[in-house]
Structure 1
């Protein structure tokens, strides 16, 4: 009389699927853990207040180790000292117009 249990290849396939499921769950937990670790760091050190000269309107902000810069709506980059907040440098941005035919 033959054994009514599953054929060996079906048992092997079931073990393979179970292993794959366990691997995917473990991988998902690792990815979630890495995201939590990565984004739970301290926030960047931003200045409390930035005194914009002449009523300029800021449109972008970036920072370096001892400076921060603000791009204004009037196409200027204002570079400030991080420690004192004093304006270090002003860079004018030239507009380039592209004409299409």
Structure 2
């Protein structure tokens, strides 16, 4: 009896093992494609030029005598923390005051 290099002696695999072998092969191919896709997306995303967000506290109408302690841009809104203990939320495009919140006591 002759054997092939992979140890198969000419007998066919049972049907359930052939099915399992096919599933493992498909799973391996899908996993390789998934890893390649993730790597490609990371390369594309990390090589993209960052879009700068240019916002100056001077562009917003703070009350007289109030300075900006902190500024942040979140979802199209600009949040400015004033030195008077108030947080002011402005619309980034129209520069209109949306909300004024008192913090502290």
Query: What TM-score do you get using the length of structure 1 for normalisation?
Result: 0.51
1:29-81 CA-to-partner distances (Å, cap 9, x unmatched) read 1133123323432212222x7355632212522475xxx73432512135677
Would the aligned equivalents of 2:79 and 2:87 in 1 still touch at CA under 8 Å?
A: no
Counterpart of 2:34 in structure 1 is 27
Query: What TM-score do you get using the length of structure 2 for normalisation?
Result: 0.50
Counterpart of 2:4 in structure 1 is none
Counterpart of 1:71 in structure 2 is 80
Q: Which runs of 4+ in 1 moved over 4 A?
A: 78-81, 88-92
1:94 to partner: Cα distance: 4.6
1:21 to partner: Cα distance: 0.6
Q: Does 1:57 align with 2:84?
A: no
Structure (1 or 2) with the larger CA radius of gyration: 2
Counterpart of 1:18 in structure 2 is 25
- Shift in CA distance, 76/40, structure 1 to aligned 2, threshold 3 Å: same
Runs of 5+ unmatched residues, structure 2: 1-7
Runs of 5+ unmatched residues, structure 1: 82-87, 96-101
1:92 to partner: Cα distance: 4.6
**SS, match of residue 13 in structure 1:** helix
The 1-side partners of 2:39 and 2:80 are apart by 36
Counterpart of 1:98 in structure 2 is none
